[in-house]
Amino acid sequence: MNKYVLIAITIVSLVAMQLAHIPQAFARSANVAPAQQEDAKGVIRVGSRDFTEQLILGQILVQALRQAGFEVVDNTGLGGTNSAHDALKAGEVDIIWDYIGTILSESHGVPPVALPTDPQVGFEMVASLDLRNNNLIWMVPSTFNDTYTLMVSSESFDPAIQTMDDLATFMNANDAPLKLCVENEFYSRGDGLFSLQDHYGFAFQEANIEIVAYDQLYEGLRDELCDVAEGFSTDGRIAAWGFRNLDDSRQFFPTYHASPTIRGEVLEKYPQLQPILDALGPLLDNDTITRLNARIDLGADGERNTGDEEPVAQVAYSFARANRLLKLPTIIVASGSNTQQQLLGEVVAQLLMQSGYGVENKTGTLDGEALRQALEAGEIDIYPEDTTVALTNYAGLPTSALPSGAERTFALLQALDERSGIIWLTPSAFNAAKALVTGTNLADVDMTTISDLANYVNTSGVALNLCVEADFMAGE
């Protein structure tokens, strides 16, 4: 008779997912409210463009504003380069994220060769132009800069070369031996490759330049077609495929930091939005946004279209959770009074607190059926339980009807408890079943299983004494 310890939870499924890596099972009920929100304050329409990074940024806004008590209309995924900014100017949405270099060139006519490379200069320029011309307010920008970059392989490229100045020094000292993958636009435009080489004082040999399509920039670097490749600094493949960006040590590339951008009349109506929005940008550095992009575009295996890519909303939610942007509910944790129950209860309480939840700790205060009754009544949210106890005491199965094997026992329990709105998740690896324990007088006997014990008793002629509790002696 196997007995597998698990945890029962009556909270939202996200908590179950958040804790699913713990080696106990979890059950939950769907009748508990999600993360707490403040009272509704008004309606905010959130927009974004339609590529991965923009969708993430838009969903982060959605999460943060809903948490602050606003009713949010989700208009993310509007379209291409000017779509979100045009919708913002037209009053069709209230807030978006946009990029300094993009809006300066596309909306205010600054030619690419004149785009600022200093982030502060670029921010002040775009904020001034958009305020004067469109009554749009740019909030504190992101730490990340989604601009052009030169990428190298972290594994195979010389670790001493960290910056573009380092690259220039190496190329000039070694007769420019490295191969470059570059797309045609960056190769041919006036502020592209040749301006970059002039700016840093070096040049790739023409025979070593491979002009490829955008996606082949990353594939070419991974497949060692080239040593250096042009790219965009926050593409998810940089993190997933083991690349690193060379630091633009002389600020050649324009600044494409992103900022929440809001209609002036909306900020005037809801001034409490400013600290919420100003807090977001500093949380998003290049490493963070690159990894968020990778989770959506590539998934855990680092490859496209293999089925493990994560939904945008889920990634944005996990970011908001990790950065304490969401106020999470208080969870009532209980357990029985024996040592194992209290230990498991305390582990769950600590993990919940570490994940940002409030915890009302009732470990060690209830026992037996009182725990189950409190769970079903909604008086507690989580407690550790044994599958066999649940089947015999709560489902009413006689011992003789218990399934053999942990998997069948667990599957039956899941099916029976589903009627009560309790969902059991993966059980623990340890088995708290009864056991037969031998004394030191049998230490020299090769005996590791009950079958070994039976064979020894039947063949050795040695009479062994057995100590056993009355319930076990009388049981089936």
Q: 321 versus 197: which is more confidently predicted?
A: 197
Structure confidence at residue 164 (pLDDT): 98
In a domain, 431, yes or no: no
Q: Cα–Cα distance between 360 and 366 in angstroms, integer?
A: 14
Nearest CA-CA partner of 412 in 421, 403, 420: 403
Domain boundary among 245, 276, 295: 245
Q: 324 versus 116: which is more confidently predicted?
A: 116
In a domain, 429, yes or no: no
In a domain, 59, yes or no: yes
In a domain, 14, yes or no: yes
Q: State the average pLDDT for the chain.
A: 87
Read off the tokens for 272: 């409490």
Q: Cα–Cα distance between 79 and 354 in angstroms, integer?
A: 39
Q: pLDDT-based confidence at 476, cuts 50/70/90?
A: low
Task: Inform me whether the pLDDT recorded for 225 exceeds 90.
Answer: yes
Residues 260 and 318 in one domain: yes
Task: Inform me whether the pLDDT recorded for 129 exceeds 70.
Answer: yes
Residues 85 and 171 in one domain: no
In a domain, 296, yes or no: yes
Local structure of 308: helix, strand or coil: coil
Residues 333 and 261 in one domain: no
Any idea which of 41-50, 142-151, 256-265, 403-412 has the lowest mean pLDDT?
A: 403-412
Task: Inform me whether the pLDDT recorded for 48 exceeds 70.
Answer: yes
Residues 314 and 454 in one domain: no
Q: pLDDT-based confidence at 36, cuts 50/70/90?
A: very low
Structure confidence at residue 40 (pLDDT): 59
Domain boundary among 301, 322, 343: 322
Residues 135 and 266 in one domain: yes
Task: Look at the chain and report how many structural domains it folds into.
Answer: 4
Task: Inform me whether the pLDDT recorded for 10 exceeds 70.
Answer: no
Task: Name residues whose C-beta falls within 8 Å of residue 152's C-beta, 6 or more positions apart in sequence.
Answer: 161, 221, 227, 228, 229, 243, 244, 246
The side-by-side arrangement of strands in the sheet containing 148-153 is 209-211, 180-182, 228-232, 148-153, 243-245
Global pTM? 0.70
Residues 295 and 208 in one domain: no
Local structure of 307: helix, strand or coil: coil
Residues 168 and 230 in one domain: yes
Residues 29 and 48 in one domain: no
Q: 377 versus 220: which is more confidently predicted?
A: 220
Domain boundary among 225, 245, 265: 245
Return the CATH number at 170: 3.40.190.120
Structure confidence at residue 428 (pLDDT): 81
Task: Name residues whose C-beta falls within 8 Å of residue 267's C-beta, 6 or more positions apart in sequence.
Answer: 137, 273, 274
DSSP designation for 361: E
Structure confidence at residue 31 (pLDDT): 34
In a domain, 433, yes or no: no
Residue listed under structure tokens 């010389």 = 158
In a domain, 219, yes or no: yes
Residues 76 and 221 in one domain: no
Residues 49 and 127 in one domain: yes
In a domain, 434, yes or no: no
Q: 474 versus 391: which is more confidently predicted?
A: 391
> Phi and psi dihedrals of 247, rounded to 5?
-65, 130
Quote the domain boundaries for residue 374: 5-35+328-424
Task: Inform me whether the pLDDT recorded for 62 exceeds 90.
Answer: yes
Residues 159-173 pLDDT 10s = 999 999 999 999 999
Return the CATH number at 335: 3.40.190.10
Residues 135 and 268 in one domain: yes
Residues 262 and 219 in one domain: no
